[in-house]
Amino acid sequence: MANAIFDHAAEILRENDRGTYTVPTHGLYPFQWNWDSCLTAIGQAHINEDRAWTEIDTLFDHQWDDGMVPHIVFHQHDDGYFPGPDVWQTHRPTPTSGITQPPVAGFAVRRIFDMTKDRDMARARAGALLPKIAAWHDWFFRSRDPQGTGLVAIIHPWESGRDNSVDWDAAFERVPTTGVLPFVRRDTQHANPDHRPTQAQYERYIYLVQLFRGLNWDNTKLHDASPFQVVDPGFNAILLRSCADLADLADTLDQPGIAAQARAHLARGLAAMETLWSDAQGQYLCLDRTLGTLIQSPSIGGLLATFAAIPQHRAAAIGTRLTILGEKVTYLVPSHDPDAAEFDSLRYWRGPVWLIVNYMIADGLQQAGQGDVAARIVADSIALIEKSGFAEYYDPTDGTPCGGGRFTWTAAMVIEFLAQAGR
């Protein structure tokens, strides 16, 4: 069974491979997405090491001069996606979007470095990527934490990777829609509209794009200009985990300056993360930076915090919370608490399970000594694949497959789960 699943996953990676990058899925997402690529490379590394490195190299070939790595690289023209390059207008040699995505590259590069067999290639490819990843991290702390709090804000829900989460609702309500130019959505032509964001949300997404475009995508201005500034514990945990992995790798590859800077970011970030803890909710919460208040929204973002080296007692509390959630759903981890009024088992990021988040939470729990909960998450992930195939995401109550099908990063995560279980 395990071998058949592995072969099927490898087939999906092949099918979505465009030579030097992989699309998330045919149709719905026809370009290169930032964190999709990094997580995909981890799965690819079990199949073709050179191709895995190339996936991340290609992404960083499109890094901006200021250090930002964009959330989408539009390698080829495709009318099937909105908003395309004509809306972003970033004036890059190869068009890109103008915002970023969860910085999982540092983690991915270290993971691939640790597992691959060709050591010369690993040292050369990782060594060349380290300064680029370090520049991206520095960009984050400079451009998205201008007050030096230790944690970075996202300025558009699409940066979070959890695009449609309940976490953004209240802050997003304050984003106006005046002056939004007419547009035609494409996502609802590829996927069930009931699983996708509403029209009002889409207008706000585009308002922010138009606002940033009007500032020429100048990152010294965007953060302060944005009416939407949210500090997400999950996003920051990914950044801090990448800082930790980058530091370790930089030590191994003899780049002490990078290691020292990454450890400085890490120490400040981990300390600041504690300001996001909520005893009442038993997890971390997002901070609405514009208002200075925590957002009372029990989502998976606060559980994903385990991906960073948070204190042991916090990881234990999150383990407990996951055990309780596990009694309410058939498949862990729901992206929102099923008891919350906003929970929607089918609409994306407002309830469904995503295997990439499962992978990161399970990894963090394992490192924190919470092996039992981690094992439940891995088992549920494999069960979802067996029941419903390689979907974009799944209903946590009955495993219904949702969103796009034959999905790349879902396949990549399954390869990792199987490999870690010794196939």
Chain-centroid distance of CA 44 in Å reads: 18
Pattern 9-48, ligand GLC, x by CB under 6 A = ---------------x----x---x-xx------------
117-126: b or e for each residue (b if 16 or more CB lie within 10 Å)? eeeeebeebb
Nearer to ligand GLC, 24 or 150 (CB): 24
For ligand GLC, the closer of residues 277 and 390 by Cβ is 390
Q: Please name the residues in contact with 254: beta carbons below 8 A apart, sequence gap of 6 or more.
A: none
Catalytic residue, chosen from 167, 392, 395, 416, is 392
Q: Minimum CB separation from ligand GLC for residue 160, in Å? A: 8
Q: Is 161 in the site for ligand GLC (CB under 6 A)?
A: yes
Nearer Cβ to ligand GLC (156/314): 156
Contact pick of 78, 138, 163, 248 for ligand GLC (by CB under 6 A): 163
3-state secondary structure of 278: strand
CB of 104 to ligand GLC, least distance (A): 11
Q: How far is the CB of 300 from ligand GLC (least distance, A)?
A: 12
From the CB of 256, what's the least distance to ligand GLC, in Å?
34
Nearer of residues 33 and 136 to ligand GLC, judged by Cβ:
33
163 is catalytic: yes
- The neighbouring-strand residues paired with 287 are 231, 294
Q: Under DSSP, is residue 80 helix (H, G, I), strand (E, B) or coil?
A: coil
| Percent of the chain that is helix, strand, coil (3-state, to 5) | 50, 5, 40
User: Shortest approach of ligand GLC to residue 134 CB, angstroms?
Assistant: 23
User: Least distance (Å) from ligand GLC to the CB of residue 313?
Assistant: 30
Q: How many CA atoms lie within 13 A of 79 on its CB side?
A: 1
CB of 36 to ligand GLC, least distance (A): 5
Read off φ and ψ for residue 352, nearest 5 degrees: -60, 160
- Nearest-CB residue to ligand GLC? 24
The verdict on 70 binding ligand GLC (CB under 6 A) reads no
Instruction: Give one word for 198, left, alpha or beta, with left for phi > 0 and alpha for psi -120 to 50.
Output: beta
Q: How far apart are CA 207 and CA 273, in angstroms?
A: 30
The count of other CB atoms within 10 Å of the CB of residue 53 is 25
Neighbours of 279 (CB within 10 A): 7
**Contacts of residue 151, Cβ cutoff 8 Å, sequence gap at least 6:** 145, 231, 236, 269, 272, 273, 276, 287
* Catalytic hit among 17, 114, 163, 251: 163
Of the two residues 70 and 364, which places its CB atom closer to ligand GLC in the complex?
70
H or E stretch covering 32: strand 32-33
Site size toward ligand GLC (CB under 6 A) is 7
Residue whose CB is less far from ligand GLC, 85 or 319: 85
Q: Residue 232: name the closest of 338, 102, 358, 104 by CA.
A: 102
Nearer to ligand GLC, 84 or 161 (CB): 161
User: Does residue 205 touch ligand GLC according to CB under 6 A?
Assistant: no
Hey, which residues are catalytic here? 163, 392
Task: Name the residues that contact ligand GLC, by CB under 6 A.
Answer: 24, 29, 33, 35-36, 161, 163
